Amino acid sequence: MTATKRTAIVTGGATGLGAAYALRLAQDGFAIAIVDISPADSVVEDIRANGGEARSYICDLRDPDAIAATVQAIEADLGGGDVLVNNAGVYDFTPHENVNFDLWRRMMSLNLDGMFLMTQAVILGMKAKGWGRIINVASNSCFIPPAGLTAYVASKSASIGYVRSLAGELGQYGITVNAVAPGPTVTGTTRGAFPDEESFLGFMQSFVKDQAIKEISYPEHSAPVVSFFASEGAAFVSGQTLVVDGGNAKH
Tens-digit pLDDT profile for residues 149-183: 899 999 999 999 999 999 999 999 999 999 999 99
pLDDT score for 1: 38
Q: Residue 248 and residue 245: Cα distance in Å, rounded?
A: 6
pLDDT score for 3: 39
Name every residue whose Cβ is closer than 8 Å to that of residue 99 and which is 6 or more positions away in sequence.
150, 151
Alpha-carbon torsion (154, 105, 199, 87), positive or negative: positive
Query: Quick check: 13 and 37 in contact, CB under 8 A?
Result: no
Q: Residue 215 and residue 172: Cα distance in Å, rounded?
A: 40
pTM: 0.94
Q: Where are the domains of the chain?
A: 7-182+219-243, 189-216
Kindly compute the dihedral angle of the four CA atoms of residues 210, 212, 215, 220, in this order, to the nearest 10 degrees. Answer: -120
Q: Residue 207 and residue 209: Cα distance in Å, rounded?
A: 6
Q: In terms of C-beta density within 10 A (0-12 exposed, 13-18 middle, 19 or more buried), how is residue 124 classed?
A: exposed
Q: Which stretches of the chain score pLDDT less than 70?
A: 1-4
Query: Quick check: 122 and 132 in contact, CB under 8 A?
Result: yes
For the chain, state the CA radius of gyration: 17
Query: Quick check: 216 and 205 in contact, CB under 8 A?
Result: yes
Q: How far is CA 241 from CA 68, 77, 100, 144, 171, in A?
A: 27, 31, 30, 14, 16
Query: Quick check: 14 and 56 in contact, CB under 8 A?
Result: yes
| Enzyme catalytic residues | 152
- Which amino acid appears at position 40 of this protein? A
pLDDT score for 113: 96
Bridge partners of 134, per DSSP, are 84, 177
pLDDT score for 4: 59
Interaxial angle between packed helices 101-108 and 150-170, expressed in degrees from 0 to 180 and rounded to the nearest 10: 30
What is the domain class of 7-182+219-243 according to CATH? alpha beta
pLDDT score for 145: 84
